[in-house]
Structures are given as structure tokens and as C-alpha cells.
Amino acid sequence: MIKVNNLTKKIGKKTILENISLEINSGDIIGIVGENGSGKSTLVKTLLGLIKASSGNIIYNSKNFNYFPDVSNMAINMKPIELVSHFCEVNGIKSNEYKEKIKEFSKKLDLENKMTNNMKTLSTGEKKRIYMMIILLIKKEVVFFDEPTDNLDDAYNNIFFDILQQLSKKGVTIVVISHSFEFLEKFINKLIILKNGKLVYNDFYLKNQSIQKISEKIHSPTSNFKASEVIDW
């Protein structure tokens, strides 16, 4: 579905991503982890075409994507109802179809009293729930998530986990950036780890693996990483 060959991104003299090669295939549920500044968000934004690579290439079978951004510092001067309606309309959804769905999802996500407020006045958790609604309304083949569960309480984390499970059952390919290893361990089937802009781990994930253990081994100052040392098959 997406094939990345020797992708490099530089800003000035700083290398943000270095010679990244990977594949995202239909049905993959991928977790991307790494320390702050490792290049996770830059990688996803480059795959989405929001950032231009310095070198390398990306081959797409389809660009039928959706994106759940990191909204923590996002200031949008719109009402949620306007934002959600806009996304629906540009994706060809008729107003009589999405208006009823907006009412339904607003109730489920406890946003009924927030839809006519300005997005700037919403908490980070509320903004994330707005984007949950957009993901549910607009059906795409691949969905990229950037830190979706930060600033969500347990109840909404559970709702979000249910949403991901439903998307996966419908055959949607899912790529998630997250610092929450516990969250990722519940559902991913592939794991990618970045370190200083380099791809240091890219493999299938089995449910008996500890992402924490793999990550700590890779990020150890004396690391001479071998997958066989941390994977219990």
C-alpha cells in the first residue's frame, strides 16, 4: 500500500530522518515509538505529503488517507460543528447524511454542549474527541494517529480503543504514534521504533512482547541491539 525507500529529511544542517525504508501493507496495525525528537511525527507528516522529503521516494497504491493530528497546540478559529461539517463536505458526504451522524456521535462522545463553542476554547481532550468524530464520519483506507490518547481520561481511552478495533475489523490500515506502550500492546501487529531519526526496529509484534523492554534495550547507551535478545517467541 505504501513503500518508503531511503527517505531522508533535513532541515538546514540537521537530519531529522535518515535513510528510512519500510512498507505499510493493507490490514497493518502499526505502532510507532521513539523518544521525543526521534522523528516520529515528521515521518508520518512526510508519508501524508504534509512535509516534503529531502531525498528518497514514497510509492503509493492509494492516497485514501485520514489523519488524526496532535491537537495539543492546535488553535483553530472555528466551531466544532463547522470543522466537522467542512471535513464531511470536502469528502463528498451529503449534509442529510452527516448531520444526523454528528448528533449521534456528539452524544456518544459527550460533546453535545461543545459543538457551537470556538475550538480555541476546548480542552485538548475535547479537541481529540472532535477528531475522533471526524475519523468515524469519513471512511478511509488508512488512518494515521499522532498521540491520540494523550490528555484523555480512562473512559475516553476505552472508547478510542473500541473505535480502533472497529476500524481494524472493517479492514482499515492503522498507524499510531504513541508514548503509551500499554495502549499499543493491546492491538498492534507491527512495531516501528525510531532513534535519532533512524529506523532501528521494524518487525511484526506478538502479544507476549514487551514494547518497554524492546525500547529500553534499543535506547541503552551501550546498546548493540539484537532482536533475538528481547523477543520471547
Which domains are assigned to the chain? 1-64+143-150+169-225 (3.40.50.300), 72-139 (no CATH)
Contact 206, 31 (CB under 8 A): no
- Counting beta carbons within 10 angstroms of the beta carbon of residue 121, is it exposed (0 to 12), middle (13 to 18) or buried (19 or more)? exposed
Question: Which of 83, 128, 75, 118 lies closest to 102 in space, CA to CA?
Answer: 83
The pLDDT of residue 74 is 78
- Counting beta carbons within 10 angstroms of the beta carbon of residue 140, is it exposed (0 to 12), middle (13 to 18) or buried (19 or more)? middle
The pLDDT of residue 79 is 96
Strands in the chain per DSSP E = 2-11, 14-24, 29-33, 55-60, 65-68, 142-146, 173-177, 190-195, 198-204
pTM of the shown model: 0.87
| Structure letter (DSSP) for residue 131 | H
Strands in 65-134 per DSSP E = 65-68
Mean pLDDT per 10-residue section of the chain, whose length is 233 residues: 95 95 94 94 95 95 89 86 95 93 93 95 92 92 91 83 87 92 90 95 86 82 49 35
List Cβ neighbours of 15 (8 Å cut-off, separation of 6 or more): 8, 9, 197
